[in-house]
Amino acid sequence: MPNIVTKLRRQPAWVALIIAIGLVLWVGSGMVNGQTTAEFEDKNQASPLQRVQVTTMLADQVNTEISVYGRTEPDRIATLRAEVNAQVLKILVDEGQSVKAGQKLVLLDKNDLPERIAAAKSTLKQRLIEQEGAKSLGKQGFQSQATQAQADANVASAKAQLKALEVDLENTTIVAPFDGVMDSQFIEVGDYLRDGDNIASIVDLDPLVIKADVTETDVASLRIGQIAQGRLASGETVSGEIRYIASVSSEGTNTFKIEVAVPNADRHLLAGMSTQLALPLEQTYAVRVTPAVMALDERGELGVKVVEKNVVKFVPINMVKSDRQGVWLSGLGQQADIITLGQGFVRDGDRVEVVRNQSISQVN
């Protein structure tokens, strides 16, 4: 051992070589151990893919539509008023009853109108005789033209007076102006009416009219005669045609009034009910889904999450319409693999493990 130490002291190059070899072996050993440790850590950090359930949804052609809120109203409303001063003798129709055009509703006291009419007829007869006498004398040259003109004026005045009395007599019987319903009465038997006093109101409920307002962007898509669907506050659904579209928007709101006429021959549909009106437009492909599959992206845009080649993709959609079974969405094409379970745990661009639903949902 002393000999070896002595030799190394005499040849220091060997000492340096041994030290250098030791350093190389030590550094190489650390790199191998470090690479092995990193690979182990990477393997530990790699998490399993998120599992999601996917259902293949087939689209169907549906009508896009405008949805607005409106109100049912009568087609016509007439307020009947007294045209003579008279007392109410009899009310022939109660409130709420259906009436026909020309049907008698209320009888007023005729007072002395029959006698005054008889007197007016006698006066007219006398004026006609005087007119004939004036014409005869005028032909013989015994009557001036002024006297003949006065005779003609007297006849015209007598006819006008008789006509006015006959109209007053006719107005003592109040009749329905059109088929409808006696909606309200403002009188009782024994009331004394003056000219212009309200008697009753008649409403025409066939057709029933749904009035609503549409925006300036939607009005261009509507036309007269277009079919529209309505859902009343009672839950009943009705169908009718657009019969009126305003040419000028309402000041302040820039909305256009429309009217939809709904057949109501039996008058079972009532006026004054809130109505959700659906106005169909062009056809498009849409998928019906439940609202539970819809989500918002980071920008707050509404859409659904689909899977393409095991990668999540967020697809913005447009809501075409809704019903009791779900909502109709366009923008997904004719077929889409929609995530129906687990969409809340994945984001756009994530790779996922797909579990497919056995049944393929087809919209009919």
Q: Which fold has domain 50-63+284-362?
A: 2.40.420
Q: Measure the CA–CA gap between 68 and 74, rounded to whole angstroms.
A: 19
pLDDT digits (tens, 9 = 90+) for 117-166: 999 999 999 989 888 888 777 676 666 777 788 888 999 999 999 999 99
Q: Which of 317, 219, 278 is nearest to 66 (CA)?
A: 278
Q: Which of 312, 320, 310 is nearest to 347 (CA)?
A: 312
Q: What is the 3-state secondary structure (H, E, C) of 221-245?
A: HCCCCCEEEEEECCCCEEEEEEEEE
Q: Which fold has domain 77-203?
A: OB fold (Dihydrolipoamide Acetyltransferase, E2P) (2.40.50)
Centre a 10 Å sphere on the Cβ of residue 28 and count the other Cβ atoms it contains.
Answer: 10
For residue 341, with 0-12 CB atoms within 10 Å meaning exposed, 13-18 middle and 19 or more buried, which class applies? middle
Centre a 10 Å sphere on the Cβ of residue 134 and count the other Cβ atoms it contains.
Answer: 22
Low-confidence ranges of the chain (pLDDT < 70): 1-47, 138, 140-143, 358-364
Burial 29-54 (b: 16+ CB within 10 A, else e): eeeeeeeeeeeeeeeeeeeeeeebeb
pLDDT digits (tens, 9 = 90+) for 27-69: 555 544 545 445 544 544 556 788 888 888 888 888 777 889 9
Mean pLDDT of the chain: 84
Domain 67-75+205-281 annotated CATH 3.40.50.2300: no
Half-sphere exposure (CA, 13 Å, Cβ side) for 232? 18
Give domain limits for the chain.
Answer: 50-63+284-362, 67-75+205-281, 77-203
Q: Note the pTM of the prediction, 2 decimals.
A: 0.61
Q: What is the pLDDT of residue 361?
A: 46
How, if at all, do strands 255-262 and 237-245 pair? antiparallel
Q: What is the pLDDT of residue 51?
A: 85
